[in-house]
Amino acid sequence: MKHKMAIVGFGGMAGWHYNEIQTIEGLEIAGIWDIREERRVYAAEEKGLHVYSGLEDLLADSETDLVLIATPNDVHKPVAIAAMEAGKNVVSEKPVTLCSQDLREMIETSDRTGRFLTVHQNRRWDEDFLTVKKILEEGKLGEVFRVESRVHGSRGIPGDWRQEKEHGGGMILDWGVHLLDQLLQLFSDVPVRSVYGVETHVTNQLVDDGFYAEIAFENGVTALVEVGTSNFVSLPRWYVLGADGTAVVEDWELHGKIVRATGVNEKDVTPVITAAGLTKTMAPRRDDSIFTEELPKVTSDVREFYINVMAVLEGREKSRIQLPEVMRVMKLMEAIHQSAETGEIVRETI
Ligand code: NAD
């Protein structure tokens, strides 16, 4: 069975979907609609795609069963609702929309029309994330008590709609949505009990150009999620602490290591001598008390996202991206924003 997908918004990310779809059997692009003429001309002339005369024309195409929304963030909700009302299934780019109330309306429309709604949370297929997931699943570090997840750039936020609040700009909605989704995937059964968030405004006053959030889970695990866009030196992508070891994933190329205790008791620790005194507590481990391991090898194929979408439409599989998970991320983003605005810890079960 061949699925035909129409694309609304043919900018940078739609180009990525276009390339990926060329490699996926059973899925083809029926055409596109973009409000900008230059993008319509590009789609037609460079990609040979059919260009609809408008959103209504696109939604009226009885040949398509799927609509991809790859517009700025504020446009996702109205287009998704219109598409579901027109009988189409919907893949929305992330963030699905700007707030939980909007998402509730989208889910209600999906329930009422019986149309499938999903979100392109493609970073669930990132290998750095899957490496950390595997380390946790294998229990390599003993009882994990801390997870830190960061992405750092140094060029501020892109100079497009991402700088504008009304379009859903800012880094919480742009990168935060990925990192928070990944974190909640690691602790899918554990409620969040408190959130403290701080937003940065180094290069942009209108929206957050970065943020960090301290998130406490009910099982005692704490997590730090940080997005920075004025960081000329990047900290590791992941830093995970357990009672018996530490894992670090330095970057997207998966440099990193796991250091674990051997169980050898260190009787004679050589203290570190600093200008102001000496310390045994902070001295390096003796070599025989630890061993260093390579990170486990994980490979992934992000095309599974669309393969799953098609399987859902054919009634063969459950969606890999469940809407209650998407709602949970949305609530976490709202809590971070609320905490950043008030300077208070948000104590809410999420
Ligand atoms: P972009 O600005 O390059 O493209 C957006 C396109 O939408 C533009 O061509 C614009 O003309 C068009 N557009 C705007 N309003 C429209 C409307 N009402 N109807 C039709 N077209 C409209 O932005 P982008 O970087 O491609 O981002 C698009 C979406 O993809 C955003 O939601 C973004 O968060 C998401 N995105 C996701 C990832 C990911 O890894 N999942 C990466 C980048 C962007």
pLDDT bracket for residue 264 (50, 70, 90): confident
Question: Is the confidence at residue 278, as pLDDT, over 70?
Answer: yes
11, pLDDT greater than 80: yes
**pLDDT number for residue 238:** 98
Nearest to 21 by CA among 253, 302, 320: 302
Q: Tell me the mean pLDDT in the region 269-282.
A: 90
Q: What would the mean pLDDT of 249-276 be, rounded to a whole number? A: 90
Give the model's pLDDT for residue 204: 94
325: amino acid identity, one letter: E
How many angstroms is it from 139 CA to the middle of ligand 1?
Answer: 39
Within 6 A (CB) of ligand 1 lie 8-14, 33-36, 39, 70-73, 75, 93-94, 120, 122, 160-161, 174
CA–centroid distance, 15 to ligand 1, in Å, is 10
By DSSP bridging, strand 89-92 and strand 66-69 are parallel
Q: At what angle do helices 177-186 and 323-342 cross, to 10 degrees?
A: 120
What are the tens digits of pLDDT across the range 313-338?
999 999 999 999 999 999 999 999 99
State whether residue 302 is helix, strand or coil. coil
Q: Is pLDDT at 1 greater than 70 in this prediction?
A: no
Output the pLDDT for position 270.
85
Q: Read off the pLDDT of residues 158-196 as tens digits, 9 standing for 90 and up.
A: 889 999 999 999 999 999 999 999 999 999 999 999 999
Average pLDDT over residues 272-291: 90
CATH of domain 124-301+331-342: 3.30.360.10
In sequence order, the 6+-apart residues with CB closer than 8 A to the CB of 259 are 245, 246, 247, 290, 291, 292, 293
Each residue of 195-225: pLDDT tens digit? 999 999 999 999 999 999 999 999 999 999 9
Host H or E run for residue 227: strand 222-228
pLDDT tens figures, 22-38: 999 999 999 999 999 99
Atom of ligand 1 nearest to the CA of 120: 41
CA atoms of 53 and 61, how far apart (whole Å): 11
What pLDDT digit, counting tens, does each position of 63-88 carry? 999 999 999 999 999 999 999 999 99
> How do the domains of the chain map onto residue ranges?
3-120, 124-301+331-342
Q: What is the pTM of this model?
A: 0.97
Cα–Cα distance measured from residue 292 to residue 295, given in angstroms and rounded to the nearest whole number: 10
Query: Which one of 13, 157, 172 would you pick to mutate in the ligand 1 pocket, going by the greatest count of ligand atoms within 8 A of its CB?
Result: 13
Is the pLDDT assigned to residue 247 strictly greater than 80?
yes
Contacts of range 312-315, beta carbons closer than 8 Å, 24 or more positions apart: 312/116, 312/118, 313/3, 313/65, 313/66, 313/89, 313/116, 314/1
Sheet with 210-217, edge to edge strand ranges: 192-200, 210-217, 222-228, 144-152, 238-242, 245-249, 256-261, 290-293
Residue 269: predicted pLDDT = 84
How much is the average pLDDT of 134-161? 96
Q: Are 242 and 145 in contact (CB under 8 A)?
A: yes
The topology (CATH level 3) of 3-120 is: Rossmann fold (3.40.50)
CA distance 233 to 62: 51
| pLDDT for residue 73 | 98
Give the whole-number percent of the chain exceeding pLDDT 70: 100
pLDDT-based confidence at 266, cuts 50/70/90? Answer: confident
Domain 124-301+331-342 in the same topology as domain 3-120:
no
What is the pLDDT at residue 22? 95
Nearest to 172 by CA among 231, 205, 213, 217: 213
